[in-house]
Structure 1
Amino acid sequence: MKLIIDFGNTFTKLAVFRQDIIVKQFQYKDLNVSDISAVIDMYPQIRAVIVSAVINYPEEITQFLIERFDFIELGVNTPIPIINKYKSPETLGKDRIAAVVAAAELYPNKNVLVIDAGTCITYDLINEKREYYGGSISPGINMRLKAMHEFTGNLPYVEAKKVDFLIGSTTEESILSGVYNGLINEIDGIIGSYKENYENLTVILGGGDYIYFDKRLKNNIFALPNIVMIGLNVILKFNDSKK
């Protein structure tokens, strides 16, 4: 069994894999060694661990894992089963690279656009030759709602939720309509632009906020909320096979 740890901007997610199947998932606001120990006690068959982090995390976690497991921390020099042609790989988010690795594994020999809806919304394409050049990054739904409150004098902060109206009849409804409907049109528009340039495009929508968008998009998509965890598992397996 394998343990996947993904330190994200908002939460840290853990997943226990048996082969290619997720057995159990956990989510933490502030992960510590005790939390990891509890998971290991539940699944003593864990033999290998991969960590991906877009934030700094406690060094004691690294030491704890190194002492007990075959350990990989995903970095710029970690071998991956795709061709990375990103011009600044040292600044590339680990979640983005993991997501396209998963896409290449799940949909081989296809052009795949991966949309990861989280704190930010990332759009990344991996082509049929398993080549990755990059994509784009946009503010996520909660970031937009917080920015409208923090960078204005009077607009309130509104909790994110799905809406089915276009015209808001209150300030709160107007904010939700603008952010939610704006994002729907952004995502559909970007998918359309990629389809004009890449034939037979497969589109994957993942990330913690995918539920806000998957039923409203005009384009056909495959909803896969665990796309990053799947990609990290693929990378861990790939490195195990090279030993």
Structure 2
Amino acid sequence: MNAAPLLIDIGNSRIKWRYAEQDGMALTISELWQQCAHLPKTQRIIGCAVASVDLQAQIDQLFAHHWQASTQWLKVSRSALGIQNHYHNLNEQGPDRWAAVLGASQRFAKQNILIISAGTALVIDSLSAEGDFLGGTIAPGLGLMKATLHQATARLPLAQGQNKDFPQSTIDAIETGCLRAILGAINIAKIELAKQNQAEVKIVLFGGDAATLQALLNGKAIAVDNLVLDGLAALLAAGDGEFC
């Protein structure tokens, strides 16, 4: 029996992987190998990378050395899995965004979807019920917003505050202000997507701050794990997509 493929998602701060029904997460290359070394050796390694080219090359070398296998990396394409990509310059779009859109399209077929990556960056992408990826917005994520305020000002602290109706401390003011900025961006994107065909918009969240945002959206959003890996798995199963 052929070994299952290994799927890899290299993000800005984490490396996620999937083998058969097993998902894992590593912070470093060495930790990734510690987790994968016991897996059956496979010649099918499919990856999606948004982090540095150096890190991508290290993963290439890792599996070439230990498994004599080459890694195929996802390229953004004009269409895949019935989804049409309307991004003007495909070279500018991160493959992780494209994989997440494709993963969401498989979970929630023929629906208006906001695909929100709530990690280092806050990425809000729009997919119409007709299968058109319309584009999206990129902004600092919650942690980066707070870190930037701390670094660019003389007295604002870097601390964990609370979301309050009327903040009465500086750390709560920062926490609430950043969260309101994020919620405002989500609400505007939801309004714009609904205008496409007046259909209900489903909000799908993933990433480190997904649970925080889901709670603030009062149950009107779904938090999922490993949406990028879902997209890679769907492409592999369908024999679709472009890789290099």
- TM-score over 0.5 (shorter chain): yes
Q: Which amino acid aligns with 1:144?
A: M
**Aligned-pair identity (%):** 24
Query: What residue in structure 2 maps to residue 65 of structure 1?
Result: 63
Query: What residue in structure 2 maps to residue 117 of structure 1?
Result: 118
Contact 1:84 1:132 in 2 (8 A): yes
SS at 1:237's partner residue? helix
Distance change in 2, residues 1:102/1:53 (3 Å): same
SS at 1:215's partner residue? helix
Matched, 1:53 2:49: yes
Distance change in 2, residues 1:180/1:4 (3 Å): same
**Which of 1, 5, 15 in structure 2 is aligned with 1:2?**
5
Q: Which amino acid aligns with 1:118?
A: G
Query: What residue in structure 2 maps to residue 228 of structure 1?
Result: 228
Query: Could you report, residue by residue, the CA deviation over 1:81-122 in whole angstroms, capped at 9, with x for unpaired residues?
Result: 232221011010111101110111112222222111111111
SS at 2:216's partner residue? coil
Deviation at 1:157, TM superposition (A): 1.4
SS at 1:143's partner residue? helix
After TM superposition, the structure 1 = structure 2 runs for residues 98-109 of structure 1, keeping only pairs within 5 Å, are: 98-109=99-110
Q: How many residues align?
A: 233
Query: What residue in structure 2 maps to residue 183 of structure 1?
Result: 182
Counterpart-to-counterpart distance in 2, 1:219 and 1:135: 23
Query: Could you report, residue by residue, the CA deviation over 1:178-207 in whole angstroms, capped at 9, with x for unpaired residues?
Result: 112332343234323322434132221112
Q: Which amino acid aligns with 1:194?
A: L
Moved segments of 4+, more than 6 Å: none
Query: What residue in structure 2 maps to residue 26 of structure 1?
Result: 25
Counterpart-to-counterpart distance in 2, 1:130 and 1:152: 44
RMSD of aligned residue pairs (Cα, Å): 2.7
Counterpart-to-counterpart distance in 2, 1:220 and 1:75: 32
TM-score using structure 2 length: 0.83
Distance change in 2, residues 1:231/1:241 (3 Å): closer
Query: What residue in structure 2 maps to residue 168 of structure 1?
Result: 167
Contact 2:78 2:85 in 1 (8 A): no
Q: Which amino acid aligns with 1:65?
A: F
Counterpart-to-counterpart distance in 2, 1:121 and 1:99: 13
Query: Could you report, residue by residue, the CA deviation over 1:24-72 in whole angstroms, capped at 9, with x for unpaired residues?
Result: 31221x324xx44433332216452111111221524213435634631
Counterpart-to-counterpart distance in 2, 1:72 and 1:84: 21
Contact 1:112 1:201 in 2 (8 A): yes
Query: What residue in structure 2 maps to residue 156 of structure 1?
Result: 157
Contact 2:116 2:206 in 1 (8 A): yes
Query: Could you report, residue by residue, the CA deviation over 1:117-156 in whole angstroms, capped at 9, with x for unpaired residues?
Result: 1111111122233222311112110111011111112111
